[in-house]
Amino acid sequence: MSRDWHEWHRRYDEPGSGLSRRLVVVRGALQGLLEAATGPVRLVSICAGDGRDTIPVLDASDAIVTGVLVELDPELAERARASAPAGIEVRTADAGITTSYADVCPADVFLACGVFGNVTDADIARTVAALPSLLTAGGQVVWTRGNNVPMDPTSHDGDPAELVRGLFAQAGFEEVAFVADDDAGFRVGVHRWPGPTGTPRAGVRMFDFV
């Protein structure tokens, strides 16, 4: 499956598109997490694109946030870098391997948006299983999954977001929020890690886009 990621990002700017509607929900979820924070927040966003999921929210927040946005596409990464606030580093790197951000984990907030619809079910399971090692105690994950993805790589029979929710439950996460927009075909979930602070390891391959 090959996709023009620049064209894909332009759909964010189309009023009423599924991506623009999903963006509102993701930003709202992140805003809520930052408003609830009682201290500094360490944030990691993988496959971060040009940072539009995160950077406008950080700019509008009073929270003290540091962290890393990881994006493989150089042009998208440069756009994010040009607008990133102080304390946020943008890395042009492969987000599918923990080497790209293990040094800044464990994270309080971890965004995996635009990931799970582009990888196999096995890679989703591998990613969810690895997340506890990348999170602080009480750390939270914001994730997305499309319900109508062209050439969807899933073999799950039914709503693929239910597979993702099940994997988070199996890994010991607590579900904080779940939004399903059947009209626009997207799902946004927030899961909390109730276990101990993890020990990040570099070199763990979580996923490859297909």
- In CATH, what number is assigned to the domain containing residue 132? 3.40.50.150
Residue 75 to residue 73: CA distance in whole angstroms: 6
Helix or strand or coil: residue 125?
Answer: helix
Residue 56 falls within a domain, yes or no? yes
Residue 201 falls within a domain, yes or no? no
C-beta separation of 172 from 194 below 8 A: yes
Residue 209 falls within a domain, yes or no? no
Q: Average pLDDT of the chain? A: 93
Residue 202 falls within a domain, yes or no? no
Name residue 70's beta-bridge partners.
Answer: 46, 91
Residue 206 falls within a domain, yes or no? no
Q: What is the DSSP string of 62-102?
A: -S-EEEEEEESSHHHHHHHHHHPPTTEEEEES-TTBGGGTG
pLDDT level of residue 121 (50, 70, 90 thresholds)? very high
Residue 155 falls within a domain, yes or no? yes
Residue 164 falls within a domain, yes or no? yes
- 209 HSE (CA, 13 A, CB side): 14
pLDDT digits (tens, 9 = 90+) for 41-70: 999 999 999 999 999 999 999 999 999 999
pLDDT digits (tens, 9 = 90+) for 134-143: 999 999 999 9
pLDDT digits (tens, 9 = 90+) for 69-96: 999 999 999 999 999 999 999 999 999 9
Q: What is the number of residues in the chain? A: 210
**Closest by CA position to 105, among listed 65, 136, 141:** 136
Range of the domain at 75: 5-192
Residue 89 falls within a domain, yes or no? yes
- Position 151 scores a pLDDT of 82
- Position 1 scores a pLDDT of 42
C-beta separation of 145 from 186 below 8 A: yes
Q: Of 3-7, 55-59, 61-65, 172-176, where does mean pLDDT reach its minimum?
A: 3-7
- Position 148 scores a pLDDT of 79
Is pLDDT at 156 greater than 50 in this prediction? yes
* Total tally of structural domains belonging to the chain: 1
